[in-house]
């Protein structure tokens, strides 16, 4: 029995094909009850997919992505899911990774970090876990984020030489390993179930790939962006006639259902260190700002289908540092023949560009910038006869990074 103050009462779960006896009555503010009205309803559409998401758009605001879309009005709507791929030409929903796993109704927007160039997909998911038939998608082109510049890009393909646990590099791609290999099989040739390269339906449920990060040499505020993550859904048995096991144990459509598959995913993780010796625990990677001396990365491959695996074709992460300006005014150069050394408040990652604006110069005066480094610069002023003289100057240093 359920009560409600509007004209809609929802009941979950229900069983497909079952005829339900339903009766309803009204109760007024005094508690007086009307007679029951009775009807029957056969559940015949419980497993129909929800409507496709309409008018999906993304606004790029600085280093944030603002996703908006129209609400799906199906009564059994549960949430929305957003997935991502670096391949802007991708058309298959399964060949993506989860960006936002759940946007609960009635929300019709979400903000995510700018992860990089790519294609974003969205589907509605109902209370039975059924997704929209067709995803809506948006392509985001290369975005220039003011005030930061790339330092390096860590690229893992095609060799994938990092540390692998329950995953292997095959044909320039990274996939989950299998516990059964063709050469390990015993018995007759045709006794095995499934395809040879599918490991006799023994694909590992998860695996990790640890790859090298980067040491900045000191603790800096850094920005990390996902440069490329292209993942295919590789199903060794993707036709109805090839399936083993129970009739209803397979996700998606009978034939060619890989576009709807949600059984595989790749989650990137990051670990941080202040000394490049001791690292913190891995946490899910999010494009954005971090403070650390060193970083390292991990990819977690997962599959809920023993005949399917994510297939990582491209994996690279871009490391960037902000442009930092440090300046000073009315600095006295002094008369030390060794020059005047100016030390920056915060050390740069790379040697900055120095601009000097001199004051109270006499005719023939000049200066020499004797040296500059990530931590300081040395300057000396001379008169027309080459003698060291005291002059006042302003400076501006523009460089990458600011040691924390």
Q: Return the H-helix or E-strand segment holding 150.
A: strand 148-155
Segment 293-306 shows an average pLDDT of: 93
Q: What is the pLDDT of residue 75?
A: 87
Strand partners, 107: none
Three-state secondary-structure class, residue 328: strand
pLDDT per residue as tens digits for the range 335-376: 999 999 999 999 999 999 999 999 989 999 999 999 999 999
What share of the chain has pLDDT > 70, as a percent? Answer: 85
Q: What is the pLDDT of residue 108?
A: 96
Q: What is the pLDDT of residue 13?
A: 72
pLDDT per residue as tens digits for the range 216-252: 999 999 988 888 889 988 887 754 454 555 555 554 4
Using pLDDT thresholds of 50, 70 and 90, give the confidence band for residue 301.
very high
Q: What is the pLDDT of residue 44?
A: 64
**Residue 127: pLDDT above 50?**
yes
Q: What is the pLDDT of residue 14?
A: 72
Q: Global pTM?
A: 0.75
Q: Which domains does the chain have, with CATH numbers?
A: 1-46 (no CATH), 57-140 (2.60.40.10), 151-244+257-321 (2.60.120), 333-400 (no CATH)
pLDDT per residue as tens digits for the range 4-25: 777 777 777 777 678 888 888 8
Q: What is the pLDDT of residue 30?
A: 86
Q: What is the pLDDT of residue 142?
A: 67
Tokens representing 143 are: 């975005």
Using pLDDT thresholds of 50, 70 and 90, give the confidence band for residue 167.
very high
* DSSP string for 167-185: EEEETTEEEE-BS--GGG-
Q: What is the pLDDT of residue 3?
A: 77
Segment 194-219 shows an average pLDDT of: 81
**Residue 56: pLDDT above 50?**
yes
**Residue 97: pLDDT above 60?**
yes
CB burial string 193-226: b at 16+ within 10 A, e below: ebeeebbbbebbeebbbbbebbebebbbbbbbbb
């Amino acid at each position: 029995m359920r009560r409600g103050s509007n004209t809609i009462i929802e009941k979950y779960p229900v069983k497909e094909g079952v005829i339900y006896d339903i009766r309803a009555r009204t109760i007024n503010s005094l508690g007086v009850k009307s007679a029951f009205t009775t009807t029957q309803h056969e559940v015949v559409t419980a497993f129909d997919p929800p409507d496709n998401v309409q008018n999906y758009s993304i606004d790029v605001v600085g280093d944030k992505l603002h996703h908006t879309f129209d609400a799906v009005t199906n009564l059994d709507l549960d949430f929305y899911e957003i997935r991502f791929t670096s391949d802007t030409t991708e058309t298959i929903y399964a060949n993506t990774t989860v960006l936002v796993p759940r946007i609960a109704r009635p929300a019709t927007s979400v903000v995510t970090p700018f992860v990089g160039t790519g294609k974003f997909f969205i589907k509605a998911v109902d209370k039975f876990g059924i997704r929209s038939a067709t995803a809506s998608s948006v392509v985001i082109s290369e975005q220039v984020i003011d005030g930061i510049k790339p330092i390096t890009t860590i690229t893992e393909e095609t060799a994938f030489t990092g540390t692998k646990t329950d995953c292997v590099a095959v044909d320039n791609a990274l996939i989950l390993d299998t516990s059964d290999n063709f050469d390990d099989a015993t018995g007759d040739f045709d006794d095995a179930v499934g395809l040879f390269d599918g490991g006799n339906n023994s694909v590992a449920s998860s695996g990790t790939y640890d790859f090298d990060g980067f040491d900045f040499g000191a603790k800096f505020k850094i920005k990390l962006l996902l440069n490329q993550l292209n993942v295919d859904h590789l199903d060794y048995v993707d036709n109805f006639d090839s399936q083993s096991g129970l009739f209803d144990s397979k996700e998606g459509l009978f034939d060619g259902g890989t576009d709807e598959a949600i059984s595989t995913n790749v989650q990137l993780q990051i670990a941080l260190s202040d000394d490049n010796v001791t690292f913190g625990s891995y946490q899910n990677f999010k494009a954005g700002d971090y403070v650390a001396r060193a970083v390292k990365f991990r990819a977690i491959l997962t599959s809920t289908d023993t005949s399917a695996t994510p297939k990582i074709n491209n994996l690279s992460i871009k490391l960037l540092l902000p442009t930092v300006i440090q300046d000073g005014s009315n600095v006295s150069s002094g008369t030390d023949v060794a020059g005047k050394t100016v030390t920056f408040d915060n050390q740069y990652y790379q040697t900055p560009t120095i601009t000097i604006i001199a004051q109270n110069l006499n005719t023939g005066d000049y200066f020499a910038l004797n040296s500059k480094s990530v931590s300081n610069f040395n300057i000396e002023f001379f008169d027309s006869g080459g003698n060291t003289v005291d002059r006042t100057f302003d400076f501006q240093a523009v460089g990458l990074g600011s040691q924390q």
